[in-house]
């Protein structure tokens, strides 16, 4: 699971984004228990976000809302229930210290799989101020661990342990390539893909496990404009398509490794007839008996040879 969060200066603009279909299949407004409404319409949704903006005007704050995104793992998203979504929302708000705050929730469905967007009021009525923006990563890591443990989802490592290795390999290919064709070929030879991203991250590197990385950050200190100029005119897939393709390849590789290991362990393939285990052990015992008889015969022969070579001393 991925949990991301950032401050948002335009509450109305955030409402437009959360309610807009964009490149998603559909958008579903989710009831926000504990908030202002328990059954939200699009109008109520916008009203809640507008109220957050008014509170920011009163306190002269620039960022009235938190925007939190929860993206479950592919397998977990396929079986996600409403009660699971409610638990996920409550847990992340609890870890962020935002329980009881008004919020809006929109679920975006892409390729049939959901990811969750929250717009949460940043204004704290107890202090009369906006909450400080500190220690987001720590709170998100704790919420993610609790959610995955409670719902039985696949555990997500805190950090990508392969990131530095990938970064070094990609930088080597960048320095060795003179043009876009050589760059794309070198990246493919590593088992990775370069794909188009969103407006904030226009270029994505999708590794062999199907994890997307910001290519500009991976090639630091290369500037985004320099990378865009080099890749100009190249036909590249969208990052979500690349992620799906890479994950499918990785899954097939893992299955092939398991099958190879199974065949080495058992000594026969899936389609081969299973050997007669009883005959196998009978042969094994017979081989032991044959070896023992042969050893006895060699010992007797060596004894005879030693006997022939032994002579009595003269009296």
- Which residues are CB-contacts of 73 (< 8 A; sequence separation ≥ 6)? 1, 153, 154, 156
Cβ-contact 137, 54 below 8 angstroms: no
pLDDT of residue 35 exceeding 70, the answer is no
Cα-based distances in Å from 132 to 97, 129, 144: 11, 9, 21
pTM of the model as a whole = 0.60
Cα gap 67→133, rounded to integer Å? 12
* Domain co-membership, 17 together with 111: yes
* Domain co-membership, 44 together with 144: yes
Q: What is the mean pLDDT of residues 241-245?
A: 91
Cα gap 84→110, rounded to integer Å? 18
* Domain co-membership, 184 together with 226: yes
pLDDT at 192: 95
Query: The domain that contains 143 carries what CATH number?
Result: 3.30.930.30
* Domain co-membership, 94 together with 224: no
Q: Could you tell me what percent of the chain has a pLDDT over 70?
A: 81
* Domain co-membership, 7 together with 147: yes
pLDDT of residue 32 exceeding 60, the answer is no
Closest C-alpha to 32, from 52, 62, 55 = 52
* Domain co-membership, 208 together with 140: no
Quick check: is 236 in a domain?
A: yes
* Domain co-membership, 120 together with 251: no
Quick check: is 203 in a domain?
A: yes
């Amino acid at each position: 699971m991925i949990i991301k969060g950032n401050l948002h200066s335009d509450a109305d603009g955030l409402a437009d984004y959360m309610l807009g279909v964009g490149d998603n299949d559909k958008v579903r407004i989710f009831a926000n228990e504990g908030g202002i409404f328990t059954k939200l319409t699009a109008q109520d949704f916008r009203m809640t976000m507008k109220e957050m903006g008014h509170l920011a005007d009163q306190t002269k704050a620039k960022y009235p809302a938190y925007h939190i995104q929860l993206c479950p793992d592919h397998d977990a998203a396929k079986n996600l229930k409403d009660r699971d979504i409610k638990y996920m929302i409550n847990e992340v708000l609890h870890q962020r210290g935002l329980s009881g705050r008004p919020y809006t929730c929109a679920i975006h469905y892409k390729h049939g799989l959901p990811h969750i967007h929250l717009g949460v009021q940043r204004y704290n009525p107890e202090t009369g101020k906006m909450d400080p923006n500190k220690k987001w990563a720590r709170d998100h890591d704790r919420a993610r661990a609790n959610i995955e443990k409670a719902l039985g989802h696949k555990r997500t490592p805190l950090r990508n342990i392969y990131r530095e290795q990938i970064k070094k390999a990609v930088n080597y290919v960048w320095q060795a390539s003179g043009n876009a064709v050589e760059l794309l070929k070198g990246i493919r030879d590593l088992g990775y893909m370069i794909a188009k991203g969103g407006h904030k991250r226009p270029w994505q590197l999708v590794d062999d496990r199907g994890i997307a990385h910001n290519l500009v950050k991976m090639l630091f200190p290369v500037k985004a404009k320099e990378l865009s100029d080099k890749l100009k005119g190249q036909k590249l897939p969208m990052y979500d398509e690349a992620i799906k393709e890479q994950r499918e390849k990785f899954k097939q590789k893992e299955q092939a490794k398991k099958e190879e290991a199974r065949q080495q362990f058992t000594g026969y393939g899936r389609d081969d007839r299973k050997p007669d285990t009883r005959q196998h052990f009978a042969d094994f015992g017979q081989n032991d008996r044959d070896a023992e008889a042969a050893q006895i015969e060699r010992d007797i022969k060596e004894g005879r040879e030693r006997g022939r070579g032994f002579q009595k001393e003269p009296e």
